[in-house]
Every structure is written in structure tokens, then in C-alpha cells.
Structure 1
Amino acid sequence: MKLRTRNHLRKLSQALFDGAATKGLGKEQREMAEQLSLSAADWLTDSSLQGVGVGTKFTANVDTAEPCIKVYVDKKRPLETLQNPAPRKIQLGSDEPVPVDVIEIGEIKLQSARYAYKQRPLHAGLSVASTSRFPGTLGLVVRSKHDPVQHFILSNYHVLKPLSRKFNDDIWQQARQDGGDVDDSVAHFERDVPIHFSDNGIPNEVDAAVARLKPDIHFLTSIPGIGPLRGITGIIREGRFVQMVGRTSGLSRGRIIDADFQTRLSYQGPRGERLTAGFRNLVLCQPYTRPGDSGAVVVNASKFAVGLHMAGSDQVSVFCRIKPVFDHLNIKLLHDLSETLQSDNTDEQSASEQINAGINVQLDVLRRSHGIFDSVSWRLTPQGLEVNGAVTGSPGELITVPGVIAQFDPLIRQASIEFGVPYELILACICTESGGKPDVSREEPGFRSDSQTPHRVSVELMQTLISTAREALDSHAVSRTHLIRPDVSIRAGAAYIRQQYSMTQFDPPKVACAYNAGGIYQNRGSKNRWKMRQYPVGMGTHADRFVMWFNDCFRYFASQPGMNPPLSFYTMMNGN
């Protein structure tokens, strides 16, 4: 869509809410906008309306490329049952009428909830809240723009700001409703971007606040599963994937649907009353968040922060843009890596140390004996993964692991650092999926062609579905031709492992099963000691092979001093 067209649609959508107060209109247009807002008042205030945006019209799930105003509702209903239906077209002045596309997205709410845990040092993604608020997510630790020694927790207004003056300004991690107490106070509320509450207009752009961190509280700057941020950006494009680490969802991602979304949200007032706040210039995405994720920083594929998550429904997620958040609150990233972390010349050791900060958080959990669904128990040791008291690899001389390393070590190292995935997980996946053979493909039942059924064909070293590789690498251009290249296949597999971090926490058996079955699902097969679904269903052979190769990595690195990669479980467990 041309920029001129988008700007016209943006003004038109804002005129529906703001009338004559819409920015960028001439005197005559302001009068027309006021009439438009008055005539639209009935359907704009209907309880089913969730928001308005701009885009192109879809017919029978096909993009017609025709510019339109998008009207988002909680649920589509038969036209004859509606008292105040949205019009088929909207017109501002003498301009051509613009079509309306009605889209069902569920009921959008602020996303705070009741479950999480305590963690020190602090890092992005943890449960946090004012003592008078429901839990949300610690977005980032940032610093004052004017004083580099002043550190703040960044999250949402509706997470950090006390409900009223009668409440203290303590911020707890974990939040009170998650089990926190006075010993969990980590910060004091500092300031917010004020929210204007009104049933009319859309005067707000962000839901954001900061709390001053106590001087004795330690924190990490890296985001678990994502790594260090390279900076912030205002460039947001529809169709691109974004990701975040939230208190409830962990690491998750979704695709941007609408970069010009307007909506009204309900807030709790100081006496328990409900207050309405209208927002403009928000970003609407496919669903990737759940209650409790409010306040999470939203990051693009290039590791630039683009937003602060604030609301959602079962069908969509909504974030506000990050640049006005930083401008209004006078804050900066602690380390703006846009000048120091360049993709072409990043030092491997320093990059891995930055990413390790996020992975190290989970080592204490992985070192303890644990399982899932009444399965066998396992734990991570300096020798590898111990299952029911034994560390077992392949019998005899090591062959497969050294062979894969000899062929693909530079590519595995590069993907490991790029996506923040421990080296052994990528290598064990290659060994399990293809045995290191770069010319293997598998067509699933129902396969017709690569273009018709990209979700039915797995390609190359890491046996990634073409559809999965496209999503993981955020590129619809990925094809079988690309995936037969080892570098692309390894990057796609590593990206998919990282994408599943919220489910697996990089726990090796969980990584094996989630990669193979698309998620963590219970399976009670008598021959499946892991009790997680994998193929063939009812068996545990896939995870068995994965763990065998994982342990062979430890054995190989122990025999080759100085060759072990910096971003690896072996390195972290053995202090190398």
C-alpha cells in the first residue's frame, strides 16, 4: 500500500474517534470529520467493537489488495441481528468512499494474571507488579537518559503504577498475587506516561511506566532466548514476525496484522470502578501472549525493540510503540548495541557471553533431577544428561558426532550464536533428524507439492518443514531450493528450537520432542519412557537418539580440549 494511501486511511480511521480533533486536517476537513464522528457514534460505541485499523480487504481469505478501513469486533454476528452495524463504506469529504472490512478478533483486555515465580538476578520476562496491581511482566531494566547510574524497571502503567495514593509505591518481584512478600520488593514506582480516561476520542499512545531499581538488586541485560538488544526502532511492517518473553507465555512470537490500530480499553480505577481509555497508533498481531504478559518488550527479528505489549484476546495481541515510550519516560537502553554488535564482525566469545546470561538462568533448574508426565527423571551433569542415574551415549568409537562437526562446525557455531541456542542442541538435532546427510527429504502423507502443501515436506539436515522454516526465518521466500543448502537448513532448525523456548527452556529431551511433534504433549505409551509425544507415536526412540547424540557431544568435547564452542552446555557445566 502506498504511503499516501495509508496516511489518508490513518486520518480517516482517527477521524471516526476524534472528529475535529484529528491531527493533520484542514479547517474544512475538520468540520467533515466532526460530522463523520457524530454519524458513526452509534456503531463505534457498540459493545462488540474492539478497534479500528487500516489495511487491505480480504474476500474468502484472499487479499484483494484493495485499501480499506478494518473494523475489529469480538465476534461476527448475522447482519439482521445487529442494531448498529458498521457501514459497508466510509467517506471523508469529497474523497472516494473507502470499503470496510469487518474482522473477528475476540474481546481485547489488559493482560495481567496470577501465576509466576521469583528469580534473582532480575531479567526480562519475570513476574512483577505494584503491590496494588495484578501481575504483569518485567519488560527491561533501562537507565535514565540523563543519569547513567539510575536504573529502572520498565513495564506497563497498569502493572507498575499504584492504584491510588493510599497504596505504597513498592514494586515486587515476584508480584504479590504470585506469592511475593515484603522481602521481594525490588523497586519503587518512579513515573508513568499519564493515561487520559474518557469515553470519547483516542488521546493515548502508550501504556508505560518505570520504577527505580534498588541499588542492591542485581540484574541481567540479556533477554532469555533472544539475547542482547541491538537498539530500538520505530520501523514496524505488517506481515513481519515479532517476539517477546512474557511472565506467562515465556518466549513466543506472532505476525503483525495491522500497524495502525485504534481501540478503547477498560482500566480499573482507584475505587474499583471501570475507566475507559482510547488509544491510537497501536500494533495488532496474531496471538502470541496470554494474561500476565503485559509489559513485555516486543522485539523484531533483527533484535531491535519495537514495542511494549499491553493487551490482547484469544485471537490477537496488541502492543504500543517503543520509541514514544522511551521519549516520554526519558530512558535509554543500558547497552545500545547498535554501535557495537555488528552482524559482520561480532566477536564470537563476547557475543556468546552476552547470550549466555539468559541461558545460565535455567542451569539451576536443569541440574536438578526432574521429569514430566510421570516420566523417567533426568538432570544435566558435567558429563552430559543423566537419565535414571546414568549418562549414556553411543557404544564404541564416536563416529557420527565428529563427522557432523568436521563438515558443519562453523555453520552450527554461527547459528548457535545468532539464535542463542546451545551448540549441542543443534548438533544433536542434525544427528537425530538426518545423521548428518545433507540430501535427505521426507514427504508426509497428504503431500501434493511444495507450493500446495509446504507443511507436508521436511528437507535437508534438520528435516524442517518448509512452512516451519518460513515462519522461523520470517521469510515466505524460503523453498526446498534454499533448504538443501546446509547453512539455511541449520539456521532454520536453530530458529525453530529458539522459537519453542517457552515450552522447552532448552531442556534437551523437551527440545527433542517439541521439535519432532510440534510441541510438548503427553503420551502414555508403555514403550515411551519420556511420556512426551514423538514419532512413531507410542515410542520413545526419537528422544532416546537425541539424548545419545547430546551426550556424545560432551564426550567429544572432553577429548578435544580447546575445541568446545563458547555457547554450549558443556562449556557452561565444565567452566571452560
Structure 2
Amino acid sequence: MTPEVAAALDRAKAELAQQFLSDPGVVGVAKGFRSRGGELTDEPVAVVMVLKKRREALISRRRLLPKTVEVDGRSYGVDVVETGEFTFSGTAAGAGVSDIVERIRPPLQGSSIGNAVDGSHGTLGCLVRDKTDGTICVLSANHVLANFGHSSLGENTVQPSVKDGGGPANDTVATLKRFVPLVKEADGANTVDAAIAQLAPDIEVDTAVARNLMAPISPTHPVIGMAFISSKLGACFIAKIDSILRKLDVELLTPNSTAPAVVGRPIEKVGRSTGYTSSFILDTSATVVVNGYRFEDLVFAQRFSMTGDSGAVVCEGGNGRTPTPIDYVECRMLATSGTYYDLPLTGDNDLADKARDEFLGQSKTGNLIVQAIYLNMERGIERLQAVGDGTAEERAQARLYYDRYRAVVASVLADPNSTVALNQGHLDDVRHMFAGLSPELVTAAEKDVLWVLFDQVLTPALGMNRRQLITYMDDLAVYNRVRLHLLAIPDLELDGSYTFSSGQR
């Protein structure tokens, strides 16, 4: 995209926002490239994000989005993308999976930190130098250090946070110095959520990362941004580092250690709640509207941060396949399915968790599938319970496939280097399974999508082993194709409920 086209699309985006963001069905606008057939094309377009994408015949003419927008005499396409709803989810505590909540001196990047007055908690991003006076400061999110700008300058910053046992008497490491104001949507848009607190004179400076979970910031390990919004399943929005540094008038302690965000590039972070995670950049110009705040020009990644990770500095690097952990919960879907099909599935929780974390969790598409399963699990359980028990034929077929594949799946999951490959017999069995799904359990629209995914996504994987399948499912084009088809399923919920990743609204 040339600078001229980008500038024109920015004007188009502003025009579309002015016309349509007041519509309750429209949640955001962006510039980008058109998605067609599940893959990004090279056509630059204005992107409009909606709660639910519907056929034109079902939308009033007043609310119908344009197919093109004209800027300076040139017409640009408008790509309407379904995203679901973005909301602040409240004041939940940290994820509790890999909490870095201990007292650390000197305070290190990735550890628990917060404002001592309002009790907010989040993550110490890194140390920076204030360009106005040369002092060393802590960098984190505005809502972590300054309570969305409601705190007074000079208030104590504690490590660990008050929520994690810290207190102003013994744990103060800095005092609030400056923050980038946040504005509500009616007054404009935000691009960052950031603040600094000046390090106390008696606190030593150390650029290491908590528990040595990641390499320090350097020219070969540059920062691309700071995580500050996350969803209940780890989807994450990241503010760009160059904007943060410029708006706060600060610099990193290590020169030449920033980099632009690039779609498809791996990233990593260490945060207070989920520790070390690594994912891939999926978008670099995202817009999200949350509880009256609008943020533009953000980076987006899957299963990368959770509540309490807000403020974590995001660097280039990692394998892209170390997702946010999900707490162990005995799967009600396994229990309900076991009753319906008369199978001992309640004993397979560990196997299901292994499949989730060590296979599906290693790719973009796999994480998308995990999110879709978790968010729509109650719907599946309700359908199974409404029917009661499966028919004798359903139970017989289920038992056949369970006996045939349970041990095979377990062996493949136990061996990352397994050479067992997807063969034609496996595809034939999946085809038979799809065909045998009753309409009480799977709607016609859902089954149509399953067949499309079978033909377009599963069949091309013929002959691939475990490692090859993970690489295949990590391809951005495959991810986009699967997401596009999942969005075509009526009422299917995908990850779209976001919150500032701290304990404060």
C-alpha cells in the first residue's frame, strides 16, 4: 500500500466512521486489504467491522453500508467484516495461571505493578528515560499506573501491586509522573494507553526480565508495542511502541531497539498473569470500540495476554506457538457427549487438554478452533441434553471410531515427532462422521460449513504428520479461510469480548 493510498483510505475511514459508527451494529473501521475466499488480496480497502454480517435484503436502506467510497475522485472498495461485540468485561482478577506477583528488587520487566491509591494492577512494561530531564521511569499502561487519568501526579507506584500484596510503606518503587490522556469516543480516538512513573532514588536500575523468561530489550530483540486490552480467551490488542515513546517524550534505555509491527511476524512478552507467551501478529491497523473508548491503529494477536498482563512490553521473537494458558476445568462437553454416545469420555480430560495446548494451541487456526469451541460449548451441551441419548446406530458408530482412534490420538499427542500421517482412510472416516451428525445436534447451515472446511482445509492436508499439520494450520491464509467460513455460521460466537487487562474499569 503506497503512502498516497494509505492517506486516502485514512480519509475514507474517517468519513465512514462519521457516518456509521453511531449505528449500534457497527463497532469499528480500519484500512487494510480485501479478504476474498479466506485469503488477503492486494486490493487496498476501507474495512468496516460489524457485530453481525447479514444479507442486504435483511438490512434497511438507511443502515446499508456502501460497497465503495470515493476520495479525491478515486473509488475505493469497502470490505465489511464481522467481528462480534467488544466490551469491557469488568474487574476480574488475574488469570492465576503463571502469576509473577512476588516482590522483585530491583523491579524487573514483566512483574506485577500498580497504583497504590486506587489498587489497580498490571505489568511493569520496561524502564525508559524521560527525555525532558534524563530521569529513569517505569513504563506501563495509563489504566495501571494512573487509573485512566484519574490519579494525581506523584501518587505511589508499588511492586508488587496492592492486589498482589504490595503496600506504599514498603513496596513503593516509583511515583506517577506523566500519562497520555484517554478520551471517550465522543471526543475523539486513542492510539495508546500509556503512562510513566519516575523511579525512586533508592531503587536500582536493571533491564533484565522477571524470572529470565525472555531476553532483555536490544537491537536484536526490539520492542513493537505494549499489550493493554485482552479477551477472556487471550486475544490481545497492542499499542505501537513508537507512538507510545513519542507521546510520552521518553526513550528506551537501549538505543535502536524498536521495530514496526509486521503481519505474520512472531512476537513474545512476559506479563504479570500469564508469564511468557508467544504468538503471531494478525493485524497492524485494528480499531476497537470498548465501553465508549475508541482505539485505532492497533496490533492484534491471538491467545497472547489476559487480565493483569496490561502494560507488558511486546518484542519481536519467539516461536509464535506458546499461547496463554487456560485453567484446567473438567470439560462438561466431554461428560455430556459421553452420556449421549455411551462412551467413557469423562476419563479423557487430560487427553483433551493435551490436544488443546500441545497441538491446536501451536497454530493460528488451532487457537481459533479452541476459541470457537469454548465460546459455543454451552450451545452444544444444551442440544445434547435436549435430545437425551443417542440412537443405537449413533452409539455403535461412535464406539467404532472411539476404539479405532483413541489410542492413535494418544500416541501422536505423546510424541511431537510422530510420523503418523493423515491418510485417505482418516478422511473417509471424518466424512462418515460428518454425514452421521443428526440435525438435532448440527444445523443444516453448520453442516454446510463443515463440508466446505472438509473440502478446502482438511482434504489438502492429506499426507501430513503432526509437525506438518501444525505448520499448515499456522499459515495465515488457512487461518483467514477458516475464520471466514466460521463467520458464515448463524449465531456462532467468536472471540470478541475485550477488557483492559487490569483490575480497574
| From 56, 70, 73, the counterpart of 2:47 | 70
* CA distance 1:433–1:159, shift in 2 (3 Å): closer
| From 60, 70, 93, the counterpart of 1:91 | 70
Superimposed CA distance per residue, residues 358-416 of structure 1 (whole angstroms, 9 cap, x where no aligned partner): xxxxxxxxxxxxxxx9xxxxxxxxxxxxxxxxxxxxxxxxxxxxxxxxxxxxxxxxxxx
Within 2, Cα distance between the matches of 1:112 and 1:243?
Answer: 25
Normalised by the length of structure 2, the TM-score is 0.51
Long gaps (5+) in structure 2: 220-256, 320-325, 327-349, 351-414, 428-456, 478-505
Superimposed CA distance per residue, residues 57-88 of structure 1 (whole angstroms, 9 cap, x where no aligned partner): 22342334332222223454666267735333
* CA distance 1:165–1:65, shift in 2 (3 Å): closer
Within 2, Cα distance between the matches of 1:236 and 1:292?
Answer: 23
Counterpart in 2 of 1:158?
143
Q: Does 1:45 align with 2:25?
A: no
Shift of 1:13: 1.4
* CA distance 1:250–1:113, shift in 2 (3 Å): farther
Shift of 1:211: 0.8
Shift of 1:160: 0.6
| From 93, 104, 112, the counterpart of 1:120 | 104
Superposition map of 1:107-506 within 5 A: 107=86, 109=88, 113-115=92-94, 116=99, 117-121=101-105, 122-130=107-115, 131-145=117-131, 150-162=135-147, 164=150, 169-182=155-168, 183-202=170-189, 204-218=190-204, 220-223=206-209, 224-231=212-219, 232-266=257-291, 276-301=292-317, 441-443=419-421, 452-453=460-461, 456-458=464-466, 465-468=467-470
* CA distance 1:214–1:71, shift in 2 (3 Å): same
* CA distance 1:64–1:280, shift in 2 (3 Å): closer
Amino acid at match of 2:161: A
The SS at the match of 2:186 is coil
Shift of 1:193: 1.9
Superimposed CA distance per residue, residues 252-289 of structure 1 (whole angstroms, 9 cap, x where no aligned partner): 233323322334444xxxxxxxxx44433322333422
Quick check: which one's helix share is greater? 2
Within 2, Cα distance between the matches of 1:78 and 1:59?
Answer: 17
**Native 8 Å contact 2:157 2:173 kept in 1:** yes
**Native 8 Å contact 1:246 1:296 kept in 2:** yes
Counterpart in 2 of 1:54?
31
Normalised by the length of structure 1, the TM-score is 0.45
**Native 8 Å contact 1:132 1:167 kept in 2:** no
Superposition map of 1:539-558 within 5 A: none
Superimposed CA distance per residue, residues 522-562 of structure 1 (whole angstroms, 9 cap, x where no aligned partner): xxxxxxxxxxxxxxxxxxxxxxxxxxxxxxxxxxxxxxxxx
**Native 8 Å contact 1:120 1:218 kept in 2:** no
Shift of 1:89: 2.7
Within 2, Cα distance between the matches of 1:110 and 1:85?
Answer: 30
The SS at the match of 1:190 is strand
* CA distance 1:94–1:62, shift in 2 (3 Å): same
Shift of 1:189: 0.6
**Native 8 Å contact 1:58 1:101 kept in 2:** no
**Native 8 Å contact 1:205 1:281 kept in 2:** yes
Amino acid at match of 1:230: S
The SS at the match of 1:159 is helix
The SS at the match of 1:466 is helix
* CA distance 1:469–1:63, shift in 2 (3 Å): closer
The SS at the match of 1:295 is coil
Counterpart in 2 of 1:10?
10
Shift of 1:294: 1.5
Q: Percent identity?
A: 26
How many matched pairs? Answer: 306
Shift of 1:108: 5.0
**Native 8 Å contact 1:170 1:189 kept in 2:** yes
**Native 8 Å contact 1:112 1:292 kept in 2:** no
The SS at the match of 2:217 is coil
Question: What RMSD over aligned residues (CA atoms) do the two structures have, in Å?
Answer: 4.0
Long gaps (5+) in structure 1: 18-36, 267-275, 304-313, 315-372, 374-431, 435-439, 459-464, 477-576
* CA distance 1:61–1:88, shift in 2 (3 Å): same
Shift of 1:3: 4.6
* CA distance 1:192–1:168, shift in 2 (3 Å): closer
Shift of 1:2: 4.5
Within 1, Cα distance between the matches of 2:114 and 2:25?
Answer: 30
* CA distance 1:49–1:299, shift in 2 (3 Å): farther
**Native 8 Å contact 1:189 1:212 kept in 2:** yes
Within 2, Cα distance between the matches of 1:216 and 1:454?
Answer: 62
Within 2, Cα distance between the matches of 1:86 and 1:293?
Answer: 36
Larger RCO (alpha carbons 8 Å, 6+ apart): 2
Superimposed CA distance per residue, residues 135-194 of structure 1 (whole angstroms, 9 cap, x where no aligned partner): 22111122333655x321111111111554679711122222334333332221111123
* CA distance 1:206–1:281, shift in 2 (3 Å): same
Within 2, Cα distance between the matches of 1:469 and 1:230?
Answer: 29
Shift of 1:240: 2.1
**Native 8 Å contact 2:125 2:312 kept in 1:** yes
**Native 8 Å contact 1:90 1:100 kept in 2:** no
* CA distance 1:8–1:218, shift in 2 (3 Å): same
* CA distance 1:167–1:222, shift in 2 (3 Å): closer
* CA distance 1:93–1:147, shift in 2 (3 Å): closer
The SS at the match of 1:12 is helix
Within 2, Cα distance between the matches of 1:200 and 1:174?
Answer: 34
Amino acid at match of 1:175: S
Within 2, Cα distance between the matches of 1:64 and 1:201?
Answer: 31
* CA distance 1:53–1:129, shift in 2 (3 Å): same
**Native 8 Å contact 2:48 2:78 kept in 1:** no
Within 2, Cα distance between the matches of 1:137 and 1:111?
Answer: 18
Shift of 1:107: 1.0
* CA distance 1:190–1:226, shift in 2 (3 Å): same
* CA distance 1:456–1:184, shift in 2 (3 Å): farther
Shift of 1:442: 4.2
